[in-house]
Chains A and B, each alone.
Chain A
Amino acid sequence: MFEKIKSGMLVFLIVSSMFLTYRLWFGQPPLEKESEPHYEEVFFTAPPVSSRIIQPAQIIFYDNDRGIHLYRRGSRGFDRLWSKSLNIIKENVELNNAKNISKSDLEGLTATFSSRLVYNFEPSMPLMFMTGTSVFEDITFEGAVFLWDEELVYVIFVGEENFLLPLGRTEDLQRVLLPVLDNPHKLLPPAIELALPRDEDNKDGVKNEAGEGDEKEADDIGIAPGDGGDIKDSNEQQLSWEIETRGEIFVPEGEIRVAEVRLKEEKIDREQLVRAFFIDLSLARLIEERDGALYYTDGEKGLRIYPSGLVEFSFPRLDRNLGNISYSLVLQKGAESLSLYGGWPSGAYLEEAENRGRGRGYRLLWGTNHKGLAFEGEQIGCEMEINNQGVLFYRRNIYLAEEDIPGEMPFRPYEEALYQVISLNEQYFKENTPVLLALEPVYYIPPAEKVEKAIPAWSVHFQGMEKKYLHWVTLDPL
């Protein structure tokens, strides 16, 4: 019996010594524990394909007989035109057949052909996004011009270098390329003489076409006697200004009838949004700020969600590690990040891509539109700063259009809008020649704690000053 106990004790001691040896050798965790990162990227919306990352800013049809027809992003016919042209290019472009042409050759060709279809890209489009090949990876272009004669259709990619390529037979492609000609515009000349008659009967400088609303006294819009070279004596019936235009500025020939549009805030799943920025939610701590904003931070990066729906994110540490990143890669990463951080807003387009220089990456700006008119205003749209490390800054403030508010009215003539801006800044323009950089009809979203509607407006941009927005009916500054 005693021997059995001894045997049992010996076996126990042997087994326990093996266990203790194992515990001593392997049982202690390493001083620094590593855990495999586990996260999932959940996109709010699928990232767009490369060819959809950038849209043309304008599609312009020129014809000697039928005039100029212009299509802005979101306007009727724009998406169809753009899709068809993309498909034609993808299916028919053979880059081996590309012929490098000079600027003078380009000008000669556009003068020779009686009609052409021009796609203007701003920001510029990487060639590989349109062709689907990476043969000319670093080449970008600002325009694509479609030309056709009786036999062949050609495309010219316009940029630092110009490439002419044949696409196919005119009889096969022309009817696909041609737009519905329902959007006549005219090109402003390099110099405009802006003169508005002064009505002696009611002494109004600017009339309201609908006959209602405010009628401005001449003094209210700043018509004043002066000694500027372009202003005539106030006793005379006409006051005129000479305006220079820079670049191609198109204005609609027909009437644009619009109404104010009711807006609603974009609704984003807050938890999904926070998880998109913070790999592990348990690392992010929440601060409920006094203005109602929620601020999430892990000490290195921060995400702030305002009660108005505005979202701001910053990760300053990424700005310290400089490195180069190609333009096309930035566009792809930017599109993926936008899809990840809230989703690609409906109708959104890339409006601006600015190189921040010195290896600091790019600043990207996306906008949205409604019925072909861009939404503009303070901090509207999506802004992103991105470099080779990732997204270091992101701001998102998107409003969605609901229904039009009753009260459709036509836009006041563009001449009156120009005159109004000049009148309101008369002193400046007495000392500086008015140089018009941009003029277009937009929807303006006024800054407010709670935004309810967007107002149609003329967006007028003169050199030397910020953009001015004028109410589309009263021409009051917004």
Chain B
Amino acid sequence: MDLSKAKTVLIITFLFLNIFLLYQIMEDEGRGRLGSFGRNEELSRLEIALHEVNLSLDVPLPKGGMQVAHLVVEPFQFQVEDIIGELWKLFGGLNNVGISAVEEAFGEEEDGERGFTKYTLGKYEMIVRKEGPVSIKTTGESDSHYRNNNNSNKNSMEGIVQSAQESIQGISFLSSFIYDYTQKSQKGPVLNFRQEYDGFPLYAGYFQLFMRGLEPEGCYLYCLEPVGFAEQKREVIPPTTALLRLIDAYKGGALETGIIDFSLGYYSQEYDAERWEIPPVWRIRLDNGEVYYINAFTGNLER
């Protein structure tokens, strides 16, 4: 064989080799499947650890390696009379009634020791806590004169979510909330909406709508005012580290549970404060409804 033919053979061989190597590298980076030679063993360990607690990873591993900072937030400042009418529209009651009429209809109890104010009207009661959360719930059976959705898919989940989204879009302080996920409960679906800031989910700010069919039966609102990011950035822990932390914290169950959501966002508990910083978290949501927040800086479980 002359040199020219040998070169051609070698070129073709190395070309195929490079294509194969490139494919392996692309497979590895953020795909979460069985990876390259160096990471196989680690991934196997992770899979074994998940299996031991009856967990399975049903979504791809997200990418890590980001540098982020704490998010500074303030509580959403509001006057009750500003929000009560708006929220009331969501429940279809007093649709065309002005705020002044709404106020007159309300009685008020204040319990300084428990730190909340309660408003009642008919079968609904609204509780406003001093840390900020607002909740509305029914105290009796649902009433037929509340409005029905005329959507032809009115009983499908998509229809319920769409109806709810249209409703909250019309409320100024809820218009920034984005649909997150739906939980199932005995009484009906619970729609979860969350806030966002600069492309990052803000799990700490949320709106839950408890549905009975197409009819909202109650809600839970906690709204935050993002101010901006803190100065000091830091790299987040890898998602696999967060998974291992979850395995430590997870109590486990007899049935296999799937991880159906794994994403980076911001979360903290509710504070009664002027201003506070929220850490980035890896949110891991299971198909049994449980949600875990792993601090993306420290690896600690956020409660």
- A and B interact: yes
User: Do residues B300 and A287 form an inter-chain contact, with CB atoms below 8 A?
Assistant: no
Q: Which of A11-19, A65-73, A76-84, A401-409 is found at the contact surface with chain B? A: A11-19
Q: How far is the CA of A352 from the CA of B18 in the complex (A)?
A: 73
Q: How far is the CA of A16 from the CA of B14 in the complex (A)?
A: 9
Q: Known contacts A6-B11, A288-B273, A299-B298; is A20 also within 8 Å of B4 by CB?
A: no
Q: How far is the CA of A6 from the CA of B8 in the complex (A)?
A: 8
Q: How far is the CA of A208 from the CA of B17 in the complex (A)?
A: 104
A-B contact count (CB 8 A): 113
The answer to whether B37 has its CB under 8 Å from any CB of chain A is yes
Q: Known contacts A6-B8, A16-B18; is A288 also within 8 Å of B35 by CB?
A: no
Task: Give residues of chain A (291-305) contacting chain B, Cβ–Cβ below 8 Å.
Answer: 295, 298-300
User: Do residues B274 and A32 form an inter-chain contact, with CB atoms below 8 A?
Assistant: no
Q: How far is the CB of B279 from chain A (nearest CB, A)?
A: 6
Contacts of A289 on B, CB cut-off 8 Å?
A: 272-274
User: Do residues B298 and A23 form an inter-chain contact, with CB atoms below 8 A?
Assistant: no
The answer to whether B125 has its CB under 8 Å from any CB of chain A is no
Q: Known contacts A13-B18, A20-B18, A286-B276; is A25 also within 8 Å of B11 by CB?
A: no
The answer to whether A111 has its CB under 8 Å from any CB of chain B is no
Contacts of B274 on A, CB cut-off 8 Å?
A: 288-290
Contacts of A6 on B, CB cut-off 8 Å?
A: 4, 7-8, 11
Contacts of A175 on B, CB cut-off 8 Å?
A: none
Question: Interface 1/0s, chain A 245-283, versus B by CB < 8 A?
Answer: 000000000000000000000000000000000001111
Q: How far is the CA of A200 from the CA of B181 in the complex (A)?
A: 87
Q: How far is the CB of B115 from chain A (nearest CB, A)?
A: 12
Q: How far is the CA of A31 from the CA of B14 in the complex (A)?
A: 30
Kindly identify which residue among A17, A25, A28, A29 contacts B17, using a CB–CB cutoff of 8 Å. Answer: A17
User: Do residues A31 and B36 form an inter-chain contact, with CB atoms below 8 A?
Assistant: no
Q: How far is the CB of A331 from chain B (nearest CB, A)?
A: 32
Task: Give residues of chain A (212-236) contacting chain B, Cβ–Cβ below 8 Å.
Answer: none
Contacts of A39 on B, CB cut-off 8 Å?
A: none
Q: How far is the CA of A298 from the CA of B232 in the complex (A)?
A: 15
- B71's nearest neighbour on chain A, judged by CB, is A285
Q: What number of A residues sit within 8 Å (CB to CB) of B?
A: 36
User: Do residues B36 and A28 form an inter-chain contact, with CB atoms below 8 A?
Assistant: yes
Q: How far is the CA of A294 from the CA of B238 in the complex (A)?
A: 30
Q: How far is the CA of A300 from the CA of B29 in the complex (A)?
A: 33
Task: Give residues of chain B (191-249) contacting chain A, Cβ–Cβ below 8 Å.
Answer: 232-234, 237-238, 240-241, 244
Kindly identify which residue among B29, B38, B42, B277 contacts A285, using a CB–CB cutoff of 8 Å. Answer: B277
User: Do residues A299 and B273 form an inter-chain contact, with CB atoms below 8 A?
Assistant: no
Q: How far is the CA of A103 from the CA of B164 in the complex (A)?
A: 86
User: Do residues A24 and B7 form an inter-chain contact, with CB atoms below 8 A?
Assistant: no
Q: How far is the CA of A6 from the CA of B35 in the complex (A)?
A: 33
Q: How far is the CB of A296 from chain B (nearest CB, A)?
A: 9
The answer to whether A320 has its CB under 8 Å from any CB of chain B is no
Q: How far is the CA of A17 from the CA of B21 in the complex (A)?
A: 8
User: Do residues A14 and B14 form an inter-chain contact, with CB atoms below 8 A?
Assistant: yes
The answer to whether B103 has its CB under 8 Å from any CB of chain A is no
Q: How far is the CA of A17 from the CA of B25 in the complex (A)?
A: 12
The answer to whether A30 has its CB under 8 Å from any CB of chain B is yes
- A27's nearest neighbour on chain B, judged by CB, is B25
User: Do residues A300 and B18 form an inter-chain contact, with CB atoms below 8 A?
Assistant: no
Q: How far is the CA of A70 from the CA of B137 in the complex (A)?
A: 72
Contacts of B178 on A, CB cut-off 8 Å?
A: none
User: Do residues A282 and B232 form an inter-chain contact, with CB atoms below 8 A?
Assistant: yes
Kindly identify which residue among A30, A32, A288, A299 contacts B300, using a CB–CB cutoff of 8 Å. Answer: A299
Contacts of A33 on B, CB cut-off 8 Å?
A: 237-238, 241
- B240's nearest neighbour on chain A, judged by CB, is A31
The answer to whether B86 has its CB under 8 Å from any CB of chain A is no
Kindly identify which residue among A24, A26, A32, A287 contacts B240, using a CB–CB cutoff of 8 Å. Answer: A32
The answer to whether A107 has its CB under 8 Å from any CB of chain B is no
Q: How far is the CB of A403 from chain B (nearest CB, A)?
A: 36
Contacts of A27 on B, CB cut-off 8 Å?
A: 25
Task: Give residues of chain B (240-272) contacting chain A, Cβ–Cβ below 8 Å.
Answer: 240-241, 244, 268, 271-272
The answer to whether B99 has its CB under 8 Å from any CB of chain A is no
User: Do residues A298 and B28 form an inter-chain contact, with CB atoms below 8 A?
Assistant: no
The answer to whether A191 has its CB under 8 Å from any CB of chain B is no
Kindly identify which residue among B39, B232, B238, B298 contacts A300, using a CB–CB cutoff of 8 Å. Answer: B298
- 17 sample A-B contacts, Cβ–Cβ < 8 Å, listed by A number: A24-B25, A24-B37, A25-B36, A28-B39, A29-B238, A31-B42, A33-B237, A283-B298, A285-B70, A285-B276, A287-B271, A288-B275, A289-B274, A290-B274, A298-B300, A299-B295, A300-B300
Instruction: Supply 15 further A-B pairs (C-beta < 8 A) apart from A24-B37, A28-B39.
Output: A6-B7, A10-B10, A10-B11, A14-B14, A23-B21, A28-B28, A28-B35, A282-B69, A282-B297, A285-B279, A286-B277, A288-B275, A289-B272, A290-B272, A290-B274
Question: What is A's interface to B at a CB cutoff of 8 Å?
Answer: 3, 6-7, 9-10, 13-14, 16-17, 20-21, 23-33, 280-283, 285-290, 295, 298-300
Closest 4 A-B residue pairs measured CB to CB? Answer: A13-B14, A285-B277, A20-B21, A287-B276
